[in-house]
Structure 1
Amino acid sequence: MKILPEISRTLSEYLLIPGLTTEDCTPDRVDLGAPLVRHRLGEEPGVRVATPLVSAIMQAVSSPTLAVALARAGGLSFIHQNQRIEDQAADVRAVKGHDHPASGTDDRASVDGEGRLRVGAGINSRDFKDRVPALVEAGADVLCLDSSDGYSVHQARTLEFARETYGEDVPVGAGNVVDGRAFRYLADAGAAFVKVGIGGGAICTTRAQKGIGRGQASALLDVVEARDAYAQETGVYVPLCCDGGLLNDSHMAMALAMGADFIMLGRYFARLDESPSRKLLIDGQWYKEYWGEGSLRAQNEARYGQRGRMVFEEGVDGYVPYAGGLDDNVERTRAKIASTMISCGSTNLRDFHRDAVLVPVSAESFKQTGAEVQLRLPALTSAE
C-alpha cells in the first residue's frame, strides 16, 4: 500500500493569473487548432482539429447528426460503439457521405484529404478484430478505445492489433488514465492519443461504486508532465484529451492551460438539438435525456461479463437542461476560451500550455468564484 503525498484536486480549485495582453492578442488572431493524433516533434500530425472539442463515445451524445454539425464547427465526434458493428459502421458512412460544401469565408470544418467531413468511432477490447476493420472500411478517420479504466493489457493488445494490421494509417486513442505510469504504458503501446479522467464525468459513478479515480486537475498535471517527458525522450508527441470534470466553459480553458490538447464532452453536447435523445417539457422547462454508458439503460452488459442484468452500474440515467443548437453553443465556448487565452497573453494552445500561470484557490476564495447577488426589481406603484 502506498499513499501519494498530495490532495486530489479538481479544476475548480485553480485560477489563472493574467499575463501581458499585447497588441497581437485579439480574437481574430487566436488559433485554437490542436493535434488529435501522435506525431514526431516538428512534424504535422495526420489529424488536426480547429476547435479542440470532441463528443463523448455515448449513445445519448454522438449521433451522425451531431457528428456532422460538430465536424462543420471544427471539432470531431466519436460514434458510440455500444451497438452492432454494422450499425456503427453505417453511422460512420452517413457522416462521411456529407460532402462539405465549399465556403468563401474562414472555414474551420474538420475534413479529410478528399474534402469529406471527419468522424471518429469508439471501439472496445473485446470484438476489436471484427469492429476495427468494419469501421476502417466505413471511412472512420480515428478510433478510440472506450473504457472507464484504460491501464490494462487488453487495451495494449487492441492497440497492437491495429498497429500490426494498419500501421500508422489507423490512429487509435486509448484511456482513460489518471497518472503518468498509465500514460506511458499506453503511449509505448502505440496510442494515438490518451484520454485523461476517471470518475469526474457528470453522469459517472465510478468513484462512488469502485473507489477509484482522481481529481481532474491532479490527473491532468501528472499526465501532462509524463507526456512532455515522453516527447523529450522519444521525439514523439502524444496528445492528451481531457475527459470529465468539466462543469463549465472556464474549466475547459483551465484544462487547456494545464496542457490538455483537446477536450471530450458528454453532457455539453447531450443538451443540444443535434444529440439523439428525446427533448421533454418538465414543469415548464425543456430538458434532454442523458445517460451514462455504464448505466443500466445503456445495456452495457458485455463490459461486465453479464448476460442478464448488470451486477452494478457506473453511471446514471437522468436529464440535462436543453440548450439549443450546436453552432451557437460551440461559437460561444470558443469565444470564452479565446478571451481567457488573450487575458493570459497567448494566441495559440502551444503558447498557452507553456506560459499559463495557475494558482490554487482556498476554500474561502472558491466561495467568491461566482456571483451570488439576487437582483430584485423595485415594487411597481400606480401613477396616481
Structure 2
Amino acid sequence: MSYDIEIGRSKRARRTYSLDDIALVPARRTRDPRDVSTDWQIDAFTFPTPIVGAPMDSVMSPASAIELGRLGGLGVLNLEGLWTRYEDPQPYLDEISLLPGDDMPRVTSRMQEIYAEPIKAELITARLAEIREAGVVVAGSLTPQRTQEFSRAVVNAGVDLFVIRGTTVSAEHVSQNQEPLDLKEFIYELDVPVIVGGAAGYTPALHLMRTGAAGVLVGFGGGATSTTRRALGIHAAMASAISDVAAARRDYLDESGGRYVHVIADGGLGVSGDMVKAMAMGADAVMIGAPLARATDAPGRGYHWGPEAHHHEYPRGARTQMSQVGTLETVLNGPSNHVDGTSNLVGALRRAMATTGYSTLKEFQRSEVVITQRS
C-alpha cells in the first residue's frame, strides 16, 4: 500500500497521522486497572511510571525533579537553563511569570536578556548534587551544541542518565564552521546511558540507535510552547513519527543481535489521551512538559516556555499561560475532578490499559488503533 499522494504535478508527499487522528479500540477482554503495571525500565533503572519531565525551566527545577522522582517518574533538569546560570534564579522565574502577555516582543526580548547570562559549570555540579542527595535518579540535559563543553562537568557530578536534546538531532550533522559532535564516539566514551533526540523518522532514528544511545526521543516542534511549524514550516505528525521510530527499534533489535533502544515520545502530548495513544503507537515512555507545567508547584507559576522561546538569533517559541489544576502529585496520580485529561495521568494510562486488556506497557504497544479523522 502506498501512502504517497500527489501535490500538484511535481511533488509527492507521504500521508502521515497526528495523535488526534487516531483512537484506541476496546478489546474483548478487559482488566481491573489495579492489576496492570505501568513500570518502565531503561538500563539499570526502573520507574513505576513511564513519565519523564521535560528539561524546561517552567517544568523542572531541582525541587520538582526530586518530587517527580519521588512520585515514580524521571525528572530531567535543563543544564542550560536558569538554574545553571544564576545562584538564585527565583527572581528571574518570578519576573518571567509577570511579564505582560499582550506584548510578546517585549516578553521575548526580556527572556533573551535573562538567558544571556553565561552557564556556570559549578552550578551544574551543585544542582545535580542536590538531586542526588534526595536519593532519586539523576538526569540532566544539554543541547548538542553545548554537550562537548559541559559533559565532563555533568558526568563528574554523578549523573545517572544523560540527555542530549535538541529540536532535531542527527547522527550525521554537517558544519563548515565548527567541529560537530561525534555522537557515536561521545556515547562510546561516556560512562552513563544516553538518551538522544529528537528524531521524527525511521532513518534518522535508526542512525541514532547505531550511535549506542539507550533511548531516542521522538518529536519535532510539536509542543504547546513551540512555534516551529509557523516559523520554519517544519513539523512531524506524532502518531506516524512514533510508529516509524518504533519500526527502527524493531529492525535495530535484529541488526544488533538483541540490543533494545527505548522510544520516548517528546512533544505534542498535552493531555492524558495523547500520552496513552503515544504509548499505543509504540513509545516506551513519554517526555512531557505542558501537563506538568499545569501543576501549582511547577517552577513556571502558571506559565510554560521552552528554550526556543529565548533563542538569541531566531526565537520560535512562546511563553504560554497554563490552567493550573493541582499539585504535581494530583497531576500524576489524582484524585481528579477534571474531565479534560489534565490530571491523574497515570490513572488514565492504567484505565486505558485495562479497557484494552493489556497488563504491561510492552503488551499495550500491540493495541488496535483506528483512524478517526483527517485534519
Normalization by structure 1: what TM-score? Answer: 0.77
Instruction: Tell me by how many angstroms 1:329 deviates.
Output: 1.3
2:59 alignment partner in structure 1: 61
1:80 alignment partner, one of 78, 81, 92? 78
Instruction: Tell me by how many angstroms 1:3 deviates.
Output: 5.7
Say whether the 8 Å CA contact 2:218–2:242 is kept in structure 1.
Answer: yes
Instruction: Tell me by how many angstroms 1:4 deviates.
Output: 6.0
1:180 alignment partner in structure 2: 202
1:157 alignment partner, one of 178, 182, 185? 182
2:272 alignment partner in structure 1: 249
Once the two structures are superposed, residues 73-97 of structure 1 have per-residue CA deviations (whole angstroms, 9 ceiling, x without a partner) of 1110111022423223211111111
2:21 alignment partner, one of 13, 16, 36? 13
Question: What one-letter code is carried by the residue in structure 1 that aligns with 2:160?
Answer: D
Q: Distance in 2 between matches of 1:191 and 1:3?
A: 35
Instruction: Tell me by how many angstroms 1:163 deviates.
Output: 1.8
Once the two structures are superposed, residues 178-230 of structure 1 have per-residue CA deviations (whole angstroms, 9 ceiling, x without a partner) of 10100111111111210001121111111111122211111111111111111
1:97 alignment partner in structure 2: 133
- In structure 2, relative to structure 1, the CA distance for the partners of 1:3 and 1:52 (3 Å cut) is farther
Normalization by structure 2: what TM-score? Answer: 0.79
Structure 2 residue 66 is the aligned partner of structure 1 residue 29:
no
Q: Distance in 2 between matches of 1:212 and 1:362?
A: 22
Say whether the 8 Å CA contact 1:61–1:275 is kept in structure 2.
Answer: yes
Q: Distance in 2 between matches of 1:71 and 1:3?
A: 48
1:189 alignment partner, one of 203, 206, 211? 211
Aligned structure 1 segments of 4 or more residues deviating by more than 4 angstroms: 2-5
1:289 alignment partner, one of 303, 317, 324? 303
1:227 alignment partner in structure 2: 249
1:348 alignment partner in structure 2: 360
Q: Secondary structure in 1 aligned to 2:144?
A: coil
Q: Distance in 2 between matches of 1:61 and 1:248?
A: 15
2:297 alignment partner in structure 1: 274
Say whether the 8 Å CA contact 2:202–2:245 is kept in structure 1.
Answer: yes
Instruction: Tell me by how many angstroms 1:124 deviates.
Output: 2.4
Question: What one-letter code is carried by the residue in structure 1 that aligns with 2:212?
Answer: G
What value does the CA root-mean-square deviation take over the aligned residues? 2.0
1:240 alignment partner, one of 255, 263, 268? 263
Structure 2 residue 140 is the aligned partner of structure 1 residue 121:
yes
2:231 alignment partner in structure 1: 209
2:220 alignment partner in structure 1: 198
1:111 alignment partner in structure 2: none
Question: What one-letter code is carried by the residue in structure 2 that aligns with 1:127?
Answer: R
- In structure 2, relative to structure 1, the CA distance for the partners of 1:159 and 1:95 (3 Å cut) is farther
Say whether the 8 Å CA contact 2:291–2:331 is kept in structure 1.
Answer: no
Question: What one-letter code is carried by the residue in structure 1 that aligns with 2:371?
Answer: P
1:336 alignment partner, one of 348, 352, 373? 348
Q: Distance in 2 between matches of 1:237 and 1:70?
A: 25
Q: Which runs of 5+ in 1 are unaligned?
A: 37-44, 99-115, 280-287, 302-309, 367-384
Instruction: Tell me by how many angstroms 1:7 deviates.
Output: 2.2
Instruction: Tell me by how many angstroms 1:29 deviates.
Output: 1.7
Say whether the 8 Å CA contact 1:55–1:78 is kept in structure 2.
Answer: yes
Q: Distance in 1 between matches of 2:320 and 2:354?
A: 37
Question: What one-letter code is carried by the residue in structure 2 that aligns with 1:86?
Answer: E
Question: What one-letter code is carried by the residue in structure 2 that aligns with 1:6?
Answer: R
1:70 alignment partner, one of 68, 71, 82? 68
Residues 253-268 of structure 1: pairs in structure 2 closer than 5 A: 253-268=276-291
Q: Distance in 1 between matches of 2:197 and 2:38?
A: 23
Q: Distance in 2 between matches of 1:28 and 1:78?
A: 28
Question: What one-letter code is carried by the residue in structure 1 that aligns with 2:297?
Answer: E
Instruction: Tell me by how many angstroms 1:159 deviates.
Output: 4.6
In terms of Rg, which structure is larger? Answer: 1
Q: Distance in 1 between matches of 2:75 and 2:293?
A: 12
Q: Distance in 1 between matches of 2:373 and 2:329?
A: 36
Q: Distance in 2 between matches of 1:259 and 1:133?
A: 33
Say whether the 8 Å CA contact 2:187–2:213 is kept in structure 1.
Answer: no
1:357 alignment partner in structure 2: 368
1:101 alignment partner in structure 2: none
Say whether the 8 Å CA contact 1:128–1:158 is kept in structure 2.
Answer: no
Q: Distance in 1 between matches of 2:79 and 2:330?
A: 28
2:98 alignment partner in structure 1: none
Q: Secondary structure in 2 aligned to 1:227?
A: helix
Question: What one-letter code is carried by the residue in structure 2 that aligns with 1:30?
Answer: V
Q: Secondary structure in 2 aligned to 1:230?
A: helix
Question: What one-letter code is carried by the residue in structure 2 that aligns with 1:206?
Answer: T
